[in-house]
Amino acid sequence: MFKLHSLVTAFALMGAMSAANAWETLPTQAPEPANNPSTPEKIALGQMLYHDPRLSSTGTVSCASCHNTMLGGEDNRPNSMGVNGQTGGRSSPTVWNSAFNKVQFWDGRAASLEDQAAGPVTNAIEMGMKSWDDVVARLKDIEGYQVAFKHAFPGENPISKDHATKAIAAYERTLITPNSPYDKFVGGDKSALSAEQIRGMDKVAELGCIGCHSGAAFNGAGMFQKFPMTPDGYLEAKYHFSKDKGVAEVSKKSEDEHFWKVPTLRNVAITAPYLHNGSVQTLDEAVQIMAKVQLGKELAKNDVADIVAFLSALTGEFPKQKMPTLPETTGKTVN
């Protein structure tokens, strides 16, 4: 993994970026891996699977339960709730614009949307299926899925884990929110941001926020970052940021402790609560905390207000979606 081990590196990177083109608009098309080009049939199937609670052991939890496409792409809870009321220790990242993440999950343990989609389904506290074989068996029992998989994946053995996760990923690549006030401003419409938002935009650059939150999706170039850089006793006692060791929970290496994927700032104003454990409820507070523990700065009240105003300008346009019709299970229950 490529990691930023110091603030100095972060600032150097930021310097390099702003020299080139620090302010990028969000592409309206997501990159697709060579082995999973999107098709309308895959996207339609993926939308069905994404919203289908029968992909969970109890038949009550779908991908959309924690990454709600009717909301900001998450669940407005500190920690997500999976089957049988179980909760984990992390906050759902938004699915909107996740196609622009270089890695997936807070600890970046999945390299692609396809890899990510496979995880929660068989996680005991998330969707709780015993195995993907069980998922595939359940899908094969549903006549409408036999048809939909065949359309999306003509050829041998249409219903498989590989195809299900590819379809879900293809659907997720359509979940893009372009045309935020920020994008309009960068695209040339200088009236799209208020004076306060423009001040916030300058401060975000000056302070160094975009050293990590760089690029069109404000989610960095794929490197991991330590959080908190400088732990603060008071904040630690209140928010327990360091309880979760981040990347190290997966790698089991001490040098990876408290390293995290850089999350997108796109739509951040509507995806409270904040940080990996969802412990911070307001954007004002999240901004102050990040400035303090990451950049060593105490922000004045008006700085916070300007930055929050700018961050609110990152809320994009959410595409109108048709509600999928899920094919019925006949003669069987999920439970």
Question: Rounded to the nearest whole angstrom, what is the least distance from the CB of residue 335 to its own copies in the complex?
Answer: 5
**DSSP assignment of 223-241, as one string?**
-EEESSSS--HHHHHHH-G
Q: Which of helix, strand or coil describes residue 104?
A: strand
Which residue in 126, 236, 317, 328 is the catalytic one?
126
Question: Rounded to the nearest whole angstrom, what is the least distance from the CB of residue 333 to its own copies in the complex?
Answer: 5
Per CB under 8 A, 330 contacts its own copies: yes
Question: Rounded to the nearest whole angstrom, what is the least distance from the CB of residue 284 to its own copies in the complex?
Answer: 8
Nearer to its own copies, 39 or 329 (CB): 329
Single residue of 84, 157, 230, 302 touching its own copies by CB under 8 A: 84
Per CB under 8 A, 72 contacts its own copies: yes
Residue closest to 266 by CA, chosen among 99, 47, 113, 119: 99
Per CB under 8 A, 332 contacts its own copies: yes
Q: Known catalytic residue: 126?
A: yes
Who's near 171: CB < 8 A, 6+ residues apart? 42, 43, 45, 46, 47, 49, 50
Question: Rounded to the nearest whole angstrom, what is the least distance from the CB of residue 52 to its own copies in the complex?
Answer: 8
The rounded distance, in Å, linking the Cα atoms of 80 and 86 is 8
Can you say whether residue 323 is alpha, beta or left, with left for phi > 0 and alpha for psi between -120 and 50 degrees?
A: beta
Per CB under 8 A, 75 contacts its own copies: yes
Site string for its own copies, 242-271 (x = CB under 8 A): ---------------------------xxx
Question: Which 85-144 positions form the footprint of its own copies (CB under 8 A)?
Answer: 85-86
CB 334 within 8 A of CB 138: yes
**Which residues are part of the catalytic machinery?**
126
